[in-house]
């Protein structure tokens, strides 16, 4: 017998609704989908492209003007520019 535990995390409301709708369409619950995803991740059958996600977030920040000049970053970190 396997013991179970609850996992609680925050996600975008629309993303959750879309995932639940898709899962229902495939005759599954969102819980079942997430358990399958966790198992695939642990078994190395699913990769998470962390670097790609970081790059995409960076591009989005640039598009929205949420950037600061390199000189300011260095100043905030107390580093000197060469």
Query: Which is higher by pLDDT, 81 or 35?
Result: 35
Give the distance from CA 15 to its chain's centroid.
11
Give 19-68 pLDDT, tens digit per residue. 999 999 999 999 999 999 999 999 999 988 988 888 988 899 989 989 98
Determine the pLDDT at residue 27: 98
Determine the pLDDT at residue 36: 97
Local confidence band at 73 (pLDDT 50, 70, 90 cut-offs)? confident
For the entire predicted model, the pTM comes to 0.62
Where do the structural domains in the chain lie, given as residue ranges?
1-47, 48-82
Sign of CA dihedral 74, 76, 77, 78: positive
């Amino acid at each position: 017998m396997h013991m179970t535990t609850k996992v609680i995390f925050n996600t975008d409301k629309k993303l959750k609704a879309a995932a639940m709708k898709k899962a229902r369409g495939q005759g599954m619950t969102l819980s079942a989908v997430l358990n399958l995803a966790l198992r695939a991740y642990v078994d190395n059958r699913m990769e998470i492209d962390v670097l790609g996600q970081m790059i995409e977030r960076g591009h989005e920040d640039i598009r929205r003007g949420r950037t600061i000049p390199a000189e300011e970053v260095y100043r905030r970190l107390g580093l000197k520019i060469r």
